[in-house]
Amino acid sequence: MSKATAILLIACQDQKGLVARVAGFIHEYGGNILDSDHHTDQETGDFLMRTVFDLTGFQLARADIDDAFRPLAKIHDMHVQWYFADQKPKVGMLVSQHDHCLADVLQRYRRGELAIEIPVIISNHQTAAWWADLFHIPFHYFPVTPETKPQQEEQILSILREQQVDLVLLARYMQIVSEGFLDHVGCPVINIHHSFLPAFIGAKPYHQAYDRGVKIIGATAHYATPELDEGPIIAQDVVRVGHRDTVKDLIRKGRDLEELVFSRAIRLHIERRVLVYGRKTVVFD
């Protein structure tokens, strides 16, 4: 995607003429639509739209676009978000000693696959320090016990705010973040859960899967919400397992899956392809 592009996300109730009016607005000021997708939920009447347009020759300055669009947004009672493809989101990463998802994100970041900045890595283990060093990213170590959790969350929040992160990634953080944390973090939080949700919610999903004797295991990336493992799902994938696979094999196979699903969800999010409505997502890919 070329750098000088704008991404417009709209959510509102379905009404006649929405596509025409939005496309008309962009055309009026000389923008060229590169990609446009929308979805109407026939049951709820929710209308969700994502439009990408070329800013070359667009007659409005970036700072003025939202103002110019406001009258239209008001008429249709739209919830509107504007993004620009050349602005890299700042991502704060939280990780445990299970560092493979962190490592995978860093590899993709290194080879330019993910257009993000990573100002901070935070962990309750020292393991991730090696990776942070390697990529010259500030690292913070906050060991967590049931007693210290509230204070530690406060500290973590304060660092994330200080770095003005746009997105928090729970890269196998293995700690349940509190409702208060989610209330105050001020940006979306993406979690990777190591099962095919809603199967095997909670702790040790690979052990649960092994005990149940399933023939397929999965991984799920979702936005974190106060209800554990109940947030809107962004991406899921699966892999076959058999009776020869021990729990250790499930964990090994699952690692590959977690990396793939997590990075896919991150990519979808940072390309602004995901719109949440209710407890579900629309993914324009």
- Window of 10-18, 85-93, 144-152, 182-190 that interacts with its own copies by CB under 8 A: 10-18
Does position 280 bind its own copies by CB under 8 A? Answer: yes
Q: Which of 171, 195, 28 is nearest to 102 (CA)?
A: 171
Does position 66 bind its own copies by CB under 8 A? Answer: no
Q: What are phi and psi of 263, to 5 degrees?
A: -70, -30
Shortest Cβ distance from residue 65 to its own copies (Å)?
16
Asked whether 121 and 102 are in contact (CB, 8 A), the reply is: yes
- Residues 37, 141, 152, 175: which binds its own copies (CB under 8 A)? 37
Shortest Cβ distance from residue 17 to its own copies (Å)?
4
Does position 252 bind its own copies by CB under 8 A? Answer: yes
State the alpha helices, DSSP H only, in 76-178: 100-110, 129-134, 149-162
Asked whether 262 and 234 are in contact (CB, 8 A), the reply is: no
CA distances to 93, 147, 201, 225, 226 from 181, rounded to whole Å, are: 15, 16, 21, 10, 9
Closer to its own copies by Cβ: residue 6 or 197? 197
- Window of 67-75, 154-162, 174-182, 214-222 that interacts with its own copies by CB under 8 A: 214-222
Does position 100 bind its own copies by CB under 8 A? Answer: yes
CA torsion, ordered 120, 125, 127, 133, to nearest 10 deg? 30
| Structure token pair of residue 193 | 């859960």
Does position 192 bind its own copies by CB under 8 A? Answer: no
Shortest Cβ distance from residue 32 to its own copies (Å)?
5
Q: Which of residues 125-144 bind its own copies (CB under 8 A)?
A: 134
Could you give the residue numbers annotated as active site?
Answer: 229
Does position 117 bind its own copies by CB under 8 A? Answer: no
Q: Which of 65, 71, 64 is nearest to 53 (CA)?
A: 65
CA distance 254 to 241: 10
Does position 279 bind its own copies by CB under 8 A? Answer: yes
Does position 233 bind its own copies by CB under 8 A? Answer: yes
Residue ranges with strand state E in 45-193:
46-54, 79-84, 90-95, 117-123, 139-141, 167-171, 189-193
- Residues 38, 125, 149, 161: which binds its own copies (CB under 8 A)? 38
Contacting residues toward its own copies, per CB under 8 A: 16-21, 23-24, 26-28, 30, 32-40, 42, 100, 103, 107, 111, 113, 134, 196-200, 212-216, 218, 232-238, 242-244, 246, 252, 256, 260, 278-283, 285
